[in-house]
Amino acid sequence: MTDIETTPLFRKLSAFVSLSEAEVTVLKELRQRRRTFTAGRDLIHQGQSDQDIYLLDSGWVCSYKILPDGLRQIVDFQIPGDFLGLRSALLQTSDHSVEPITDIEVSEVFVADLLGAFARTPRLATAVLWAASRDEAMVVEHLVNIGRRDADVRTAHFLLELGARLALVGLGSKEGFACPLTQYHLGDVLGLSAVHVNRVLRRLREGGMLTVHKGQVTFDNYDRLIAFAEFDPTYLDQERPFLK
Amino acid sequence: MTDIETTPLFRKLSAFVSLSEAEVTVLKELRQRRRTFTAGRDLIHQGQSDQDIYLLDSGWVCSYKILPDGLRQIVDFQIPGDFLGLRSALLQTSDHSVEPITDIEVSEVFVADLLGAFARTPRLATAVLWAASRDEAMVVEHLVNIGRRDADVRTAHFLLELGARLALVGLGSKEGFACPLTQYHLGDVLGLSAVHVNRVLRRLREGGMLTVHKGQVTFDNYDRLIAFAEFDPTYLDQERPFLK
DNA sequence: CGGCTATTTGAATGGCATCAAATTGGGTGG
DNA sequence: CCACCCAATTTGATGCCATTCAAATAGCCG
């Protein structure tokens, strides 16, 4: 296993709380078996109970819900350093499914171990609560996006936000980012049909704002794009650890 | 102050973890000044930083975001026992505003006290993490509702879910519940115009499913309604404490 | 009773979905 | 290396759901 201080989870939690030697050790011991999953095969099924928690080491996954009529809504994408199934474990039953978009590597974490770690190192519990709050803030922004913005602004805003998240872990910049999502994925996350996503992307491209092509999102004019999308670029910033 | 064991927060956390005598004492000591706010005046402003946390004792509030063009999206309603501003405090700046819908009573909780309580009684931290997960699950369900259901089903589903939440704290039943929301509130929470909400409510009424009148939501035919709304009535159930 | 807010209804517009079909491109096996 | 296949992308045509604008009615409070 690589040195923990370079892992995405450590980097993420460090943004909130300066972890002590002992806390890092606890964090390290949480990780059990390393596992890999292939793209497209669900890791967690809606309705499943008592499944384990995973920590995403590499690759992309999405959490989604399926409605009775087969429509799908993607709630969020997870990138390295994110927990998979933490909420499901706490609530004892999964309210959503989780599907790998690319092949992924995860570390298994046992629920009992995690709760034990919280008991022994409370600052870790607070740090995980912080991370959960950050996830919730992203879902909330997503909700507003779907509820109140039209398709063009919504799409631009979503891609900017995804780029900002990826930039935080070194996987993107103002130029753009590598993106394995299809137009079907984009439709399901944006609450649009894939056909309409295609038209939206064409308008954004012809407006000189962004291009999506061959697994690459390119911001052609970053400043015009953030103005158009009403995007707040400071949104995900976390400049200083909160808990000393 | 009333006996803590009858407070909504205690009832809620007890659904997840059996609290010890010592933990109850800590919970009791968290509550500082009791304050009241009048309907319509924001308690927390979008963009504000370093504000305190409140615990809602009575009344209804909503959390919302305002877009640059003035459109509003209500993210969630809070009812007694819910924290206000917990996420904002952890993230150090508020990504949303909070407005009382009715006159409300809150207890002030200092951030430092709460973090201190987590350090001394880790089970409390886990319980609050559980409560936060439950809140996130509700936001996720709301997201799916807006993203993928048409206006009629969306509205029916939302009112059923609100009724279920209220039933958990003794404020509603299969018959219906008292509801201070206007059609503007419903529009802003459902991502619809108030005018269209009116038409939707008429269709639901004429379909014999539910009636909204004079601050009262009445489920005229509960079974037909849950079938129509694709509502899972077990959704918020929490039958047994998870942490012994 | 007057004034305000919330509700209700109508008519016209438009954004997005749906259905259908053509085209592109990557991957695979012969 | 080419032929083929399948998935993803692209474009057109049509219809509907929800918005917007407008105005009337109902209900509540001072």
Q: What is the mean pLDDT of chain A?
A: 90
- Nearest alpha carbon to residue A31 among A59, A55, A58, A9: A55
Here the tokens at position A242 are 């909160």
Q: Are residues B131 and B184 in the same domain?
A: no
**pLDDT, one tens digit for every residue, chain B (244 residues):** 456 667 778 877 787 788 888 888 888 888 879 999 999 889 999 988 878 899 999 999 999 999 999 999 999 999 888 999 999 998 888 999 999 999 999 999 999 999 999 888 888 888 888 889 999 999 999 999 999 999 999 999 999 999 998 887 788 899 999 999 999 999 999 999 999 999 999 999 999 999 999 899 999 999 999 999 999 877 666 555 555 5
Here the tokens at position B118 are 């987590």
CA distance B190 to A241: 36
CATH number of the domain where residue A66 is located: 2.60.120.10
**CA closest to C17 C1', residue:** A193
**Model confidence at A202, in pLDDT bands (50, 70, 90)?**
very high
**What mean pLDDT do residues A23-33 have?**
87
Q: Judge: A191–B140 Cβ closer than 8 Å, yes or no.
A: no
Residue of B nearest to A120 (CA): B122
Number of A to B CB contacts under 8 A, please give it: 135
**Model confidence at A153, in pLDDT bands (50, 70, 90)?**
very high
A225 forms bridges with which residues in the sheet?
none
Answer whether residue B195 is part of any domain: yes
Shortest CA–C1' contact from A205: which nucleotide?
D10
**Model confidence at A5, in pLDDT bands (50, 70, 90)?**
low
| Interface test with chain A among B90, B158, B234, by most A beta carbons within 10 Å | B90
Q: Are B208 and B220 in contact (CB under 8 A)?
A: yes
**What pLDDT, on the 0 to 100 scale, is given for residue B234?**
73
Count structural domains, chain A.
2
Full domain range(s) for residue B203: 149-229
**What pLDDT, on the 0 to 100 scale, is given for residue B28?**
87
- Cα dihedral across residues B133, B139, B144, B145: positive or negative: positive
Q: Judge: A148–B68 Cβ closer than 8 Å, yes or no.
A: no
**Distance from residue B191's CA to nucleotide C14's C1', rounded to whole Å:** 17
Q: Are residues A130 and A14 in the same domain?
A: yes
**What pLDDT, on the 0 to 100 scale, is given for residue A138?**
94
Answer whether residue B240 is part of any domain: no
Q: A127-131, A170-174, B17-21, B83-87: which range is least confident on average?
A: B17-21
Q: Are residues A106 and A164 in the same domain?
A: no
Q: Are residues B166 and B62 in the same domain?
A: no
| C-beta contacts of B57-60 below 8 A and 24+ residues apart | B57/B7, B57/B8, B57/B104, B57/B105, B57/B106, B57/B107, B58/B104, B58/B105, B59/B100, B59/B101, B59/B102, B59/B103, B59/B104, B59/B105, B60/B100, B60/B101, B60/B102, B60/B104, B60/B180, B60/B181
Determine phi and psi for A99, rounding to 5 degrees: -125, 130
3-class SS letters over A30-63: HCCCEEEECCCCCCECCCCECCCEEEEEECCEEE
Q: Are residues A131 and A153 in the same domain?
A: no
Percent of residues, chain A, with pLDDT higher than 90: 62
Answer whether residue A199 is part of any domain: yes
**Given a cut of 70, is residue A37 above it in pLDDT?**
yes
**Model confidence at A44, in pLDDT bands (50, 70, 90)?**
very high
Using the 3D structure, point to which of B137, B165, B185 is the last residue of a domain: B137
Answer whether residue B20 is part of any domain: yes
Answer whether residue A244 is part of any domain: no
CA distance A39 to B61: 42
Tell me how far apart the terminal alpha carbons of chain A are, to the nearest angstrom: 28
Q: Judge: A119–B118 Cβ closer than 8 Å, yes or no.
A: no
| AA identity, residue B89 | A
Q: Are residues B15 and B129 in the same domain?
A: yes
Q: Are residues B121 and B175 in the same domain?
A: no
CATH number of the domain where residue B186 is located: 1.10.10.10
Q: Are residues A26 and A75 in the same domain?
A: yes
Q: Are residues B204 and B92 in the same domain?
A: no
Name the strand (E) or helix (H) holding B130: helix B122-148
Task: Out of A73, A95, A125, name the one closest to residue B125 (CB).
Answer: A125
Determine phi and psi for B121, rounding to 5 degrees: -130, 85
Sequence-separated (6 or more) residues with CB below 8 Å from residue A162: A77, A172, A177, A179, A217
Task: Out of B86, B91, B122, name the one closest to residue A122 (CB).
Answer: B122
**Model confidence at A238, in pLDDT bands (50, 70, 90)?**
low
Answer whether residue A83 is part of any domain: yes
Here the tokens at position A12 are 């993420």
Residue of A nearest to B119 (CA): A122
Q: Are residues B133 and B154 in the same domain?
A: no
Q: Are residues B80 and B52 in the same domain?
A: yes
Task: Out of A75, A96, A115, name the one closest to residue B126 (CB).
Answer: A115
Q: Judge: B141–A96 Cβ closer than 8 Å, yes or no.
A: no
Answer whether residue B143 is part of any domain: no
**What pLDDT, on the 0 to 100 scale, is given for residue B15?**
75
Q: Are residues A80 and A159 in the same domain?
A: no
Answer whether residue B235 is part of any domain: no
**What pLDDT, on the 0 to 100 scale, is given for residue B7?**
78
Residue of B nearest to A228 (CA): B68
**Distance from residue A79's CA to nucleotide C16's C1', rounded to whole Å:** 30
